[in-house]
Amino acid sequence: MERRLFTYIWRHSLREQLRIIALIALSLPFYFLSLNLPKLIVNGPIQGDGFADGAARTYYAVALPDWLGGVRLFDGLDLDRISALFALSFTFLGLVCINGLFKYRINVLKGRMGERLLRRLRYELVDRVLRFYPARLRRTKPAEVASMVKDEVEPLGGFVGEAFATPAYLGGQALTAVIFIMLQNPLLGLVAVGIVSIQAFLIPYLRKPILALGRQRQLTARELSGRVGEIVDAAADIQANDTSNWERADITRRLGRIYDIRFEIYRRKFFVKFLNNFLAQVTPFFFYAVGGYYAIMGELSIGQLVAVIAAYKDLPGPVKELLDWYLDKQDAQIKYEQVVEQFAAEKLIAEDMHAPVDPGPLKDGIEVREATVADDTGARLLDGVSFTIPAAAHVALAGPNGGGKEAAAALIARQASARSGAVVVDGQPIDTLPQAVTGRRIAYVGQDAYLFGVSLKDNLLYGLRNQPRRDAMREGPAAARAEARHAEDRQAGNAPFDAEADWIDYSLLGCDDVRGLDACLMRFVALAGLENDVFRFGLQGRFDPDDAPVVAERLLQARALFKSREMSGDVDIVEPFDAQHYNNQASIGENLLFGVAVGPAYAPDNLARNRTVSHLLDETGLTRPLFELGRGVAETMVEIFRGLPADHPFFAQFSFIAAADLPYFEQLLARLTSGQPPSAEQRARVLGLAFDYSESRHRLGLLDDEMRGRLLSARHLFNARLPAHERPKIAFYDADDYNEAASVEDNILFGRIVYGAPDAQMRIEQILQGVIAELGLKDDIARIGLGFHAGAAGKRLTPSQRQRLALARALVKNPDILVVNGALAVLDPQAQADILGRVAGARAGRGLVWTLSPGQDSAAFDRVISFEHGRIAGAA
């Protein structure tokens, strides 16, 4: 990348910059005309100069200047005073419009140019990150890079538009004024030039330390975002180590440093400002003193002096703005350098390595010759080893942990590079092959494979998104819009690929199209032993019946079948939702709503503050009894939990009231006992407790049959009265309808599990499994499970699920050689062995490389290579 910002701007926006400068030049004559016109209007028609005795004057005559021969091009119009007034006024109006339009057009062009360049710069930065070698990436803090790409380059976009146009424009203006003064009186001209020169040299000199401080500010701010990112990532470990105060101290120290820098900048900046203003004001002093002296002495006419002072008024503006521009330039340059420096890696992966090509299958396999691999400290992980991995064999890499098998596995998958020696794939050195070969024909699963914050399905398909396979289907205006967007992408030098195209290569997967995709993916999921988890996710997941009405229909059948099975047992384990009955297992809030909240308005936590609900309670006279009920709950909670320490696990498990809120309720209860009325907020808090209450679960004896009846009528009233615009916020329970806001399992159970029923969970599980198998719903539920969102970096999954998913993702790629490098380390040995058996079976006749833990059975492999102390200890 260009080291200097100006070179970068020049290189990527030369044509646009020239266009804007030309437009500015074109606009200047109109600008000067509009400045001149008021004088003409005032002196001419208004004051009547040259209109003596109703005579007409000639306006709009156009002639070439004398030095071009003074030829008259247009003789002009003879106008009387009134006509002249209106003609000149409308001309003025016209010029105002023209100037405005010029300004608008110039600003639009500047803005577009700036945004394009900003976009290009950001893209190039990310592109460089994609081309960093792993060793470089290990030294990179993600949050810092993000802050650079997002925030630090942002001001550059604004500067790009000003980079050339501003000095051209303001410089011209200032120069005109200086020349004008010089013509009036050279001495005063020299004074003006002198002071401006002092400004021009002194101010930047004083600004220098400010710029240096600005550089520090940028660095410290970047480090701060790096640290904040680290704190978020390490949140669990910080709590586990009780080091939150250490983190607080560290952040405090950093903020203190940033404060010092910023305050220093502030102080210096205002001093410079003061000096600048002072110098601007001191010039008139010279004009008055020196100019006045000459005027008194008769060497300068009063008119000239006034004209000089008037001309000087126009000078500080442009000069000041020019100085500002210069400082902006310095600032932008520093920002640019600081960012580019960070992204200037000593060695980048060559661009053609990332070319989208379709490599053929590997024929021979991988050969490692005398390869040495070292870690960052120079310690040798592999020391001159040679071995071959045939394309269709199952090879185990064995030996003690850390003995070299891990480095060997990483080496053949291009995850590590050899310091000396060579890795040869099908006769070609691995470093010279496009990533398409190693990335598609070889799959690698390491111990901490990264999972993306998308659905399980998208994670599984990730390895197939190598290049666009089929263009996105667009028609009419959408197609035109896309075309325009791509043209703009190219203008900014962005990637030529369409993210909305279909990128998935189904041929690799072994299924032909989207329809068979989920079943196909589930095969790999099963190989990795993740199918039960996916199934569980499916049961807990939500799904939109409009997506697949047939599935919704079947799930409703499952509901009916489940009910009949459940009824045949001797004990009720599920109390069904019934519009005509109070559900004793559900909370009061759920009973009132008789549905699932969609969005926050009717969510359990907000119910007590919801206005529609409050109105309903007031109308049905339920506010009072519910408040008393909530008060009863609060009293019991305060009594039971008062003595417990705040971090006691019972709070999280059993209490309605968080430990931190206990004193609040204690005070509130005392207030109520003394007869004071509760505030609106307090009322809502107490009602909130009531809404959470379920008699069968909490057993505080606060709910009787009469109250149940009243709540039931309130439910009916609520449903009948709910205005149409509020309806979409609740998915009501309906025995004949799929409830899209509830989970699949809840839809099948369609009720609440009975508290205290022995073995309820186990029996429900049994019936559920039976019903699902009988109705053939397994695939559908698995499909919903595949839609489960893995969370940021896959954090919603357990470590074991993450490792299994990463393995499944590699299997989905259907590579020629699959390299599994300690990728199942968190699983117990039996589970590892089971998966190995299944994967080996599925990959019969294809390449497989597996690092074995000491003691793991290697019988199933064609070859075993043992590593010890970075050397091969034996091969069989």
Partner 1 sequence: MSIIDEVEALRRIPYFATMDSAKLKLLAFASHRLQLPLGGVLCREGEPGDAAYILLEGEAEVVVKTDDGHDVVVAKVPKNAFIGEIAVLRNVPRTATVVAASPITALKVGKDAFFQLLRDVPQFALEVMRELAERLEDTTDRLREAQGRLDAGK
CB 867 within 8 A of CB 383: no
- Spell out the residues 6+ positions from residue 167 whose beta carbon is closer than 8 angstroms to its own: 322, 325
Minimal distance in Å, beta carbon 505 to partner 1?
46
Nearer to partner 1, 325 or 641 (CB): 641
Minimal distance in Å, beta carbon 780 to partner 1?
32
Across 517-588, the runs of DSSP E, i.e. the strands, are: 574-576
CB 290 within 8 A of CB 187: yes
Residue 819, strand partner residues? 444, 849
Minimal distance in Å, beta carbon 647 to partner 1?
12
Nearer to partner 1, 392 or 760 (CB): 760
Torsion of CA 158, 159, 162, 167, to 10 degrees: 160
Minimal distance in Å, beta carbon 763 to partner 1?
12
Minimal distance in Å, beta carbon 593 to partner 1?
25
Q: What's the CA gap between 730 and 334, in Å, rounded?
A: 54
CB 438 within 8 A of CB 780: no
Nearer to partner 1, 376 or 705 (CB): 705
Minimal distance in Å, beta carbon 644 to partner 1?
7
Instruction: Give 701: exposed, middle or buried? Use CB within 10 Å, 0-12, 13-18, 19+.
Output: exposed
Residue by residue, DSSP assigns 405-423 as: HHHHHHHHTTSS--SEEEE
Nearer to partner 1, 505 or 695 (CB): 695
Q: What's the CA gap between 511 and 822, in Å, rounded?
A: 29
Residue by residue, DSSP assigns 206-267 as: HHHHHHHHHHHHHHHHHHHHHHHHHHHHTHHHHHHHT-HHHHHHHHHHHHHHHHHHHHHHHH
Q: List Cα–Cα distances, 309 to 146, 170, 283, in angstroms.
A: 52, 19, 10
Nearer to partner 1, 341 or 639 (CB): 639
Minimal distance in Å, beta carbon 637 to partner 1?
9
CB 423 within 8 A of CB 429: yes
Minimal distance in Å, beta carbon 645 to partner 1?
9
Minimal distance in Å, beta carbon 638 to partner 1?
10
Tell me which residue of 33, 789, 815, 100 sits closest to 457, measured CA to CA: 789
Nearer to partner 1, 756 or 837 (CB): 756
Nearer to partner 1, 372 or 636 (CB): 636
Checking phi first, is residue 308 left (phi over 0); if not, alpha (psi -120 to 50) or beta?
Answer: alpha
Q: Could you give the count of Cα atoms lying within 13 Å of 840 in the half-sphere of its Cβ? A: 18
The 3-state secondary structure of 784-807 reads HHHCCECCHHHCCCCHHHHHHHHH
Q: What's the CA gap between 342 and 332, in Å, rounded?
A: 16
Minimal distance in Å, beta carbon 573 to partner 1?
12
Minimal distance in Å, beta carbon 694 to partner 1?
12
CB 411 within 8 A of CB 371: yes
Nearer to partner 1, 580 or 653 (CB): 653
Q: Could you give the count of Cα atoms lying within 13 Å of 634 in the half-sphere of its Cβ? A: 29
Minimal distance in Å, beta carbon 602 to partner 1?
28
SS3 content of the chain, % helix, strand, coil (to 5): 60, 10, 25
Location of structure tokens 């380390």 = 825
Minimal distance in Å, beta carbon 700 to partner 1?
5
Q: What's the CA gap between 229 and 561, in Å, rounded?
A: 50
Nearer to partner 1, 298 or 649 (CB): 649
Nearer to partner 1, 248 or 699 (CB): 699
Tell me which residue of 674, 659, 673 sits closest to 628, measured CA to CA: 673
Nearer to partner 1, 199 or 583 (CB): 583
Give residues in contact with partner 1 (CB under 8 A): 570-571, 636, 639-644, 648-650, 653-654, 695, 698-702, 755-759
Nearer to partner 1, 698 or 715 (CB): 698
Residue by residue, DSSP assigns 437-469 as: HHHHHEEEE-TT----SSBHHHHHHGGGEEEEE
Nearer to partner 1, 373 or 689 (CB): 689
Minimal distance in Å, beta carbon 585 to partner 1?
13
Q: What's the CA gap between 610 and 699, in Å, rounded?
A: 27
Terminal alpha carbon distance of the chain? 51
Minimal distance in Å, beta carbon 827 to partner 1?
21
Q: What's the CA gap between 806 and 456, in Å, rounded?
A: 10
Nearer to partner 1, 228 or 757 (CB): 757
